[in-house]
């Protein structure tokens, strides 16, 4: 026993990470782009998600070339290969035929993860757009109970009838959210090509005919039992069937199985993906993305149904957890507390590099492309900006660059070749989501002036930004509104101040002894009449 523990193989495994490196993930599929459009993909571009495991080593071990692998990697070779000072690599081949360890730098994905942890972006799931209003629902966190689950019965719970009121409307207090799944045992059939689909049917499904038959029989039996129990409850005969009656139903289903199967096939010809046969196949194979959605099921014509089916089949199931391990923040509803300026109304902004402006040599786009923490995002503002004629200066100072970064419209309109470091603007990361291809979809917004001033520690600009927000002065606060400071404190908001009313009253037409239709008096007649009225009023006791 001791001899085997001290063998060369045992010592190699004890001092090596050879056995701890996982197998690489399948590489992401790159989009070919339109046939007539430009080809924007690159073989050397950063992949949407990491494929190989990233490993690191302490600085003393790195100087010796000790990475815990079979062969040492000298520091000179590391710098010449990775062209980076980051002590993180990914091993492409542990031991090739040429007895060489192939590796490259993994700083791209590692630095992206570090930046995301520093920014603190919550990952959410976007609801699909409504058919009528074309608006999305409120985004929800990927760690909510109705999203983050792998239970096979989650879809059945979602399709269960919800409690309703007398008019058939769902009761919000008693209605639970429909659960969703992000992991399935079966493949995504719309994303398979012809060869993969035929191989899946030939090798995996051809041997499961008897198992599928038993599954369908059990499904039909459960439906028959449920229907008969419902009828008995309506008639007041009992809630649960007896064992003898269940055995009779089982024998009846086994005898008439061919008839039931033919009926399900005939219904499938008419109902397509909304049939009972499709539901049985999806539940048996645990297939994702096959059930007909509400938009597709409401289509009446064949052409509209085919178009909607193509749209529905474009989005496949997520290839990983919706959070992808990037962030564990469930919401952005938190406030940052500055050590000097106190709680901030806006989160700390970050600089985003303008990768592609709205105006280029070939095209004019509505939104500029921004690079934020290693991810490309769209500029939320698509304003029309006319670039002023400017002189091409030889260079900019640091103060001039910072002032130019504040002019977001100018930075996103056209690239300035004389600006060191390129065009940059201040943005604030809002939310992010992971699509079915594993790509990060980031939503950003333009940063507030006060937040930028706090980030740059510019005292004068902070006071200017705060004074600009109160330039209108105290406004009128309508009555009946909630107080600014809570319901238990008095409302100290400024109310509308009206000028004091004068207690001096005038004379009406009856006192003047004339009608409104008689026209306007002259100044002499009016003065004489007023003197008479005043003298008579003063003569009264």
CB hemisphere CA count around 241 (13 angstroms): 19
- Residue carrying the six token digits 């002894």: 513
Last residue of a domain, one of 469, 497, 523: 469
Residue 314, classed as helix, strand or coil, is helix
User: Does some domain include residue 351?
Assistant: yes
Q: What is the pLDDT of residue 300?
A: 46
Q: What is the pLDDT of residue 458?
A: 79
- Residue carrying the six token digits 């085919």: 306
Last residue of a domain, one of 469, 484, 499: 469
User: Does some domain include residue 488?
Assistant: no
Q: What is the pLDDT of residue 312?
A: 47
Residues 346 and 411 in one domain: yes
Q: What DSSP designation does 360 have?
A: -
Residues 271 and 382 in one domain: no
Q: What are the φ and ψ backbone dihedral angles of 228, each rounded to 5 degrees?
A: -70, -35
**DSSP-H helix ranges across 272-397:** 276-285, 294-297, 302-314
Query: How far, in Å, CA of 424 to CA of 411, rounded?
Result: 6
Contact 448, 455 (CB under 8 A): no
Full domain range(s) for residue 23: 13-34+44-105
Provide the domain count of the chain. 3
Does the model's pTM come out above 0.85? no
User: Does some domain include residue 326?
Assistant: no
Q: What is the pLDDT of residue 478?
A: 46
In terms of phi and psi (left: phi > 0; alpha: psi -120 to 50; beta: otherwise), the region of 374 is left
User: Does some domain include residue 53?
Assistant: yes
User: Does some domain include residue 7?
Assistant: no
Residues 22 and 55 in one domain: yes
Q: What is the pLDDT of residue 290?
A: 56
User: Does some domain include residue 21?
Assistant: yes
Query: How far, in Å, CA of 23 to CA of 424, rounded?
Result: 39
Count of C-beta atoms within a 10 Å radius of residue 11: 11
Residues 439 and 345 in one domain: yes
Count of C-beta atoms within a 10 Å radius of residue 323: 24
Contact 450, 465 (CB under 8 A): yes
Residues 276 and 351 in one domain: no
User: Does some domain include residue 373?
Assistant: yes
Task: Show the tokens assigned to 501.
Answer: 């009313």
Residues 347 and 305 in one domain: no
Residues 305 and 365 in one domain: no
Residues 269 and 304 in one domain: yes
Last residue of a domain, one of 105, 128, 155: 105
Residues 372 and 285 in one domain: no
User: Does some domain include residue 489?
Assistant: no
CB hemisphere CA count around 403 (13 angstroms): 5
pLDDT, averaged in runs of 10, over the chain (541 residues) = 64 62 78 54 78 87 82 78 77 81 86 88 73 60 75 57 49 48 76 83 85 90 88 80 86 88 86 82 77 46 46 59 83 85 87 83 73 88 52 51 72 80 87 84 87 83 71 46 47 54 59 63 77 72 57
């Amino acid at each position: 026993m001791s001899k085997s523990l001290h063998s060369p193989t045992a010592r190699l495994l004890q001092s090596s990470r050879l056995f701890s490196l996982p197998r690489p993930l399948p590489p992401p599929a790159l989009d070919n782009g339109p046939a007539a459009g430009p080809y924007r993909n690159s073989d050397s571009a950063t992949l949407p998600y990491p494929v190989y495991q990233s490993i690191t080593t302490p600085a003393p071990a790195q100087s010796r070339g000790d990475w815990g692998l079979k062969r040492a990697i000298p520091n000179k070779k590391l710098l010449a290969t990775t062209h980076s000072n980051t002590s993180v690599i990914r091993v492409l081949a542990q031991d090739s035929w040429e007895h060489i360890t192939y590796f490259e730098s993994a700083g791209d994905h590692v630095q992206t993860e570090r930046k995301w942890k520093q920014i603190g972006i919550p990952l959410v799931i976007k609801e699909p757009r409504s058919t009528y209003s074309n608006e999305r629902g409120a985004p929800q966190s990927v760690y909510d109970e109705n999203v983050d689950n792998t239970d096979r019965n989650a879809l059945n719970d979602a399709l269960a009838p919800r409690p309703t009121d007398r008019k058939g409307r769902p009761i919000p207090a008693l209605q639970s959210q429909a659960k969703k799944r992000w992991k399935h045992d079966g493949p995504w059939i719309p994303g398979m090509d012809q060869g993969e689909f035929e191989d899946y049917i030939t090798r995996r499904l051809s041997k499961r005919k008897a198992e599928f038959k038993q599954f369908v029989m059990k499904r039909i039996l459960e439906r028959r039992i449920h229907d008969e129990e419902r009828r008995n409850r309506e008639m007041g005969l009992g809630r649960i069937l007896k064992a003898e009656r269940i055995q009779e139903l089982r024998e009846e289903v086994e005898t008439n199985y061919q008839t039931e199967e033919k009926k399900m096939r005939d219904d499938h010809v008419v109902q397509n993906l909304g049939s009972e046969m499709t539901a049985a196949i999806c539940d048996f194979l645990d297939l994702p993305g096959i059930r007909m959605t509400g938009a597709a099921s409401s289509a009446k014509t064949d052409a509209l149904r085919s178009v909607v089916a193509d749209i529905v089949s474009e989005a496949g199931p997520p290839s990983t957890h919706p959070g992808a391990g990037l962030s564990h923040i469930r919401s952005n509803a938190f406030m940052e507390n500055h050590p000097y300026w106190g709680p901030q109304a806006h989160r700390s902004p970050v600089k985003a590099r303008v990768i592609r402006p709205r105006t280029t040599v070939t095209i004019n786009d509505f939104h500029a492309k921004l690079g934020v923490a290693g991810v490309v995002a769209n500029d939320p503002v698509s304003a029309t900006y006319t670039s002023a004629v400017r002189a091409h200066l030889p260079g900019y100072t640091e103060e001039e660059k910072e002032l130019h970064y504040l002019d977001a419209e100018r930075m996103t309109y056209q690239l300035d070749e004389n600006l060191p470091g390129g065009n940059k603007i201040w943005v604030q990361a809002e939310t992010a989501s992971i699509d079915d291809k594993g790509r990060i979809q980031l939503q950003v917004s333009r940063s507030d002036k006060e937040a930028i001033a706090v980030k740059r520690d510019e005292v004068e600009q902070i006071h200017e930004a705060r004074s600009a927000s109160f330039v209108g002065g105290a406004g009128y606060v309508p009555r009946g509104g909630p107080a600014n400071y809570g319901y238990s404190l008095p409302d100290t908001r400024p109310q509308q101040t009206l000028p004091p009313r004068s207690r001096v009253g005038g004379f009406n037409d009856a006192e003047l002894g004339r009608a409104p239709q008689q026209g306007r008096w002259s100044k002499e007649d009016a003065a004489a009449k007023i003197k008479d009225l005043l003298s008579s009023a003063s003569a009264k006791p």
